[in-house]
């Protein structure tokens, strides 16, 4: 009994040391990665993103093209060498299940992700801090003697802390760990994950500052029946769109990543991004620009007035038409360019692109709702918030993580968990139905193809 008690105390002490030590280390890394992103943006385009200027709208078109192609070309060459000449960097899920993450290869791999996002490629940056955190977790587990289930838990917790640190989102880090990586909830796992995520988020904020990622003007602090009805109806739409984005992401990730094709495919995808950005600059980067335009549609008319924006015959004098056109074009362009970027061999995430697509879809549906029901007043920012959380819940099949990440990024009033939760639950149900039928259709098609070949 005494030996068991001593063993328990020793393990608890090691967990406390791990939470504090790794939380601080991952927070420092997340803060520095964020600063690197802003530095790359400034070098490539001469600006640093913010909620008031979330994208390279004032950057000359040729510089947009040169920046995104240049960054992608550098990353493509190094990734090709990394993937063909050295030890492979596994995914976070594989690392959690025991596959080792080589130190310098993982570090280079992480830095390249920040490089391409900062230089304008349409892909998320959130995988980078998660991978770096998982690598630190593996190494520290060996130092303190963790093996088996304890090591698996620590690696997953570290990955979640990386997400928490880069976005100042400790609840999202917690639920990413227990809902996606471990798919298991115990009091110990929750305590360890939340403690490390909170530590990482605080330490990172000391380096990069504590700022609201998305600005949502005009939000009410109470929920209305109209907003709740919008959330329920919208959840169906966002669920279907989220399922389609998930299928598209899975297709894109199946592209060849270890052959020499990456040397021309990634620059070609970047060139396409730059050309599209001549007219739709918000497609560049991880999705912050597209999402912020949806959360605050007044930015669209302001940019139209400032730059003489004219899309498909619209003008700054027609704000509602301009907003609908810009949002529609942004939705299609952002989805396609993101999937093409991933398919070309680039590594990165789809959380921020998913948030962007959901926010765009939410704002579009909100504007259409106002046209159909003129007397029903809903803040467009609230519609975009509901759409972002619901589509991300559907595309990730992780509603707790998705809701918390969006709410924390937006610093939304806690009362909005009610419509966001309703929309996310509806979206998950609809997306599972869509995914089940799409996968069944794909299976039937594959069987027919094999039978025809035979």
Report mean pLDDT in 10-residue bins for the chain, 454 residues: 68 93 98 96 91 87 96 97 93 95 96 97 96 97 90 97 97 96 93 97 95 89 88 97 97 88 96 96 94 92 58 51 89 97 96 97 94 84 97 97 97 95 98 94 78 67
Alpha-carbon gap, residue 87 to 71, rounded angstroms: 23
The predicted pLDDT at position 310 comes to: 39
Q: What is the pLDDT of residue 308?
A: 46
pLDDT at 262: 95
344: region left, alpha or beta (phi > 0 left; psi from -120 to 50 alpha): alpha
Cα–Cα distance list, 105 to 34, 259, 410 (Å): 20, 17, 34
Please state, in angstroms and rounded to a whole number, the distance separating the CA atoms of residues 333 and 283.
7
pTM above 0.75, yes or no: yes
Pairwise CA distance, residues 331 & 125, whole Å: 19
pLDDT at 15: 94
Give the Cα separation of 63 and 72 in Å (integer): 14
In Å, how far are 77, 350, 402 from 426, measured between CA atoms?
Answer: 43, 21, 14
Rounded to the nearest 5°, which phi and psi values hold at 453?
-70, -40
DSSP state of 120: T
Backbone angles phi, psi at 312, to 5 degrees: 50, 45
CA gap 108, 88 in Å, rounded:
12
Q: Which of 134, 149, 52, 59 is nearest to 100 (CA)?
A: 134
Residues 359 and 365 sit within 8 Å (Cβ to Cβ):
no
Q: Residue 141 and residue 11: Cα distance in Å, rounded?
A: 12
Pairwise CA distance, residues 6 & 201, whole Å: 32
Question: What whole-number distance in Å separates Cα of residue 228 and Cα of residue 422?
Answer: 8
CA 122 to chain centre: 11
pLDDT for the residue 5: 63
Closest of 137, 93, 118, 101 to residue 35, by C-alpha: 118
- Within 10 angstroms of residue 443's Cβ, the number of other Cβ atoms is 10
Rg of the chain over CA atoms, in angstroms? 22
Contact assessment for residue 355 and residue 406, using Cβ atoms and an 8 Å cutoff:
yes
SS3 292: helix
Residue 318 has a pLDDT of 60
């Amino acid at each position: 009994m005494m030996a068991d008690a001593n063993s328990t105390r020793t393990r608890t002490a090691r967990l406390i040391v791990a939470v504090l030590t790794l939380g601080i280390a991952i927070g420092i890394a997340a803060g520095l990665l964020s600063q690197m992103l802003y530095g790359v943006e400034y070098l490539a385009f001469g600006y640093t993103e913010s909620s008031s200027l979330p994208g390279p709208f004032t950057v000359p078109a040729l510089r947009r093209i040169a920046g995104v192609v240049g960054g992608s070309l550098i990353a493509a060459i190094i990734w090709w060498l990394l993937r063909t000449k050295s030890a492979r960097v596994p995914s976070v899920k594989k690392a959690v299940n025991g596959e080792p993450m080589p130190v310098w290869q993982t570090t280079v791999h992480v830095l390249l992700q920040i490089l391409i996002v900062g230089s304008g490629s349409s892909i998320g940056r959130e995988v980078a801090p998660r991978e770096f955190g998982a690598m630190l977790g593996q190494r520290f587990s060996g130092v303190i003697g963790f093996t088996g289930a304890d090591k698996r838990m620590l690696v997953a917790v570290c990955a979640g802390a990386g997400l928490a640190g880069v976005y100042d989102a400790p609840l999202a880090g917690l639920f990413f760990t227990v809902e996606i990586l471990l798919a298991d909830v115990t009091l110990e796992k929750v305590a360890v994950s939340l403690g490390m995520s909170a530590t990482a988020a605080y330490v990172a904020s000391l380096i990069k500052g504590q700022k609201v990622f998305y600005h949502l003007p005009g939000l009410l602090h109470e929920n209305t029946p109209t907003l709740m009805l919008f959330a329920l109806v919208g959840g169906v739409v966002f669920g279907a769109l989220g399922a389609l984005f998930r299928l598209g992401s899975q297709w894109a990730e199946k592209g060849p990543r270890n052959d020499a094709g990456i040397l021309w495919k990634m620059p070609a995808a970047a060139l396409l991004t730059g050309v599209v950005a001549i007219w739709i600059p918000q497609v560049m980067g991880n999705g912050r620009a597209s999402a912020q335009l949806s959360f605050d549609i007044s930015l669209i008319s302001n940019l139209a007035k400032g730059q003489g924006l004219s899309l498909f015959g619209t003008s700054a004098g027609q704000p509602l038409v301009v907003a609908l056109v810009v949002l529609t074009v942004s939705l299609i362009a952002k989805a396609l360019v993101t999937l093409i970027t991933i398919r070309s061999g680039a590594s990165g995430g789809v959380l921020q692109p998913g948030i962007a697509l959901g926010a765009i879809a939410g704002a579009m549906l909100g504007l259409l709702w106002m046209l159909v029901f003129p007397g029903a007043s809903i803040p467009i920012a609230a519609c975009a918030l509901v759409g972002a959380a619901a589509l991300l819940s559907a595309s990730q099949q992780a509603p707790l993580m998705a809701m918390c990440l969006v709410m924390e990024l937006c610093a939304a009033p806690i009362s909005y968990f009610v419509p966001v939760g309703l929309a996310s639950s509806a979206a998950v149900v609809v997306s599972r139905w869509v995914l089940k039928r799409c996968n069944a259709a794909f299976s039937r098609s594959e069987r027919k193809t094999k039978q025809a070949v035979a």
